[in-house]
Amino acid sequence: MKMIKSEVPSNCPKGVVASVSAKVGDVMQANVPGELPRGERQVINTKRTLKFSSDDGMDELYSVMQQAKANNSYVRDIKTSPDPAIVIASDGQLDDLVRFCAPLAGVESCAMTVGPTFNLGEFECTPTTYRHLMVQTRRYKTYPVFVGPILIHYRKNFSTFLHFSSALVALRKDLQYLRVFGSDGEKALINAFMHEFRFAIHLHCSIHARNNIKKNLRERRLPELVVNEITDEIFGKQVGSSYVEGLVDAESEEIFYKQLEERKVQWDRIEKENPGCVSGFYEWFNEHKCEEIVSGMLSPVREDAGLGVPPSAFTTNVSESITAMLKRKVNYKKSELVAFIQHLKELIDEQQRELERAVIRRGKYEFREEYKFLEVDEAT
């Protein structure tokens, strides 16, 4: 009987890794580690770089540079090498970031959120968001979420994100006093922003952190009931009208570690009671999650960031809503670079027009009571 061999397409990332590994004899015959591909992500990044280095890629970048030179005031900064990056921002967005995210002491402020989006084109897109504190939605009386400056890039590394944060400060020097920024935990982004925004508090998204811990617990083959029990012990839970505090609600770093040590016996016992599971959750949590929680999620950190007393949890839901808005704008299809920048310009303009409608008491926003003096009669 003839065997049918299932092959991985040689042009896909997995196929390229397999092909290159086979040519050098894989792990046992490679002379140095550099001969072996690190993984599929390396192949994807290399393909992006090669695509951008091609004539078409350079033509796209050249077109953007010509746009910026001619009439597109939204293209504020272009980095060409080694990793191309483009900063998109209007004067209004930059002024709002200063006004609402880096105000004078004692003035109401909000957090700037930042996080990469996916599947918008053959590039990465990292928008910032903020809440406009002068207006509220007519329906829910909440501060609306606005898209802020946006980075278009091809690598998610420290130098690319540092270019973005330093470009923002170069465009508005007062942004060096940014009070709070939040993210979903992208390490390179956090390190770059903390380097540039030295006075800022960084907040970790509790939803991403919770999901990451749940993923690890499930991979240890623990029952779902146990997974939920442990994550609730870490992040707290709502029971009817009452809130049961978790480790993240500890009032100090010392109390957090004391409470964590008390959990060790319980978590070790749970692992012993489930013989099919992979043990070691406490050690993993201690090594990979403690610093993240202490620096960006603990109760005093959230209080200092202005999330109330007791503080509410921080999430990047506002970034998710902007991502959804961007995807709708491009009709859920990947765009070419020049076309995508045009879509961003249209989105920023629409956002500004909706704000301007509030001046004549129209549209979905209205000025808060202390800013009502900015309204004028429609005829005027």
pLDDT tens-digit readout, 298-333: 999 999 999 999 999 999 988 888 888 888 888 888
In this prediction, residue 83 carries a pLDDT of 86
Compute and round to an integer the Cα radius of gyration of the chain: 24
**What is the value of pTM for the model shown?**
0.81
Q: Which residue type is seen at 269? A: R
CA distances from 71 to 64, 66, 84, 342, 345 (A): 11, 9, 21, 12, 12
100 near 109, Cβ under 8 Å? yes
Higher pLDDT among residues 54 and 232, named by residue: 232
Alpha-carbon distance 345 to 9, whole Å?
A: 39
User: pLDDT tens, 58-98?
Assistant: 577 777 777 666 666 799 999 888 888 999 999 999 999 99
Sequence-separated (6 or more) residues with CB below 8 Å from residue 93: 146, 147, 148, 149, 348
Domain ranges of the chain: 13-47, 66-205+315-374, 207-304
Alpha-carbon distance 196 to 163, whole Å?
A: 10
Average pLDDT over residues 231-257: 96
Average pLDDT over residues 336-354: 92
Burial class (CB in 10 A: 0-12, 13-18, 19+), 331: exposed
Check whether 150 has a pLDDT greater than 90. yes
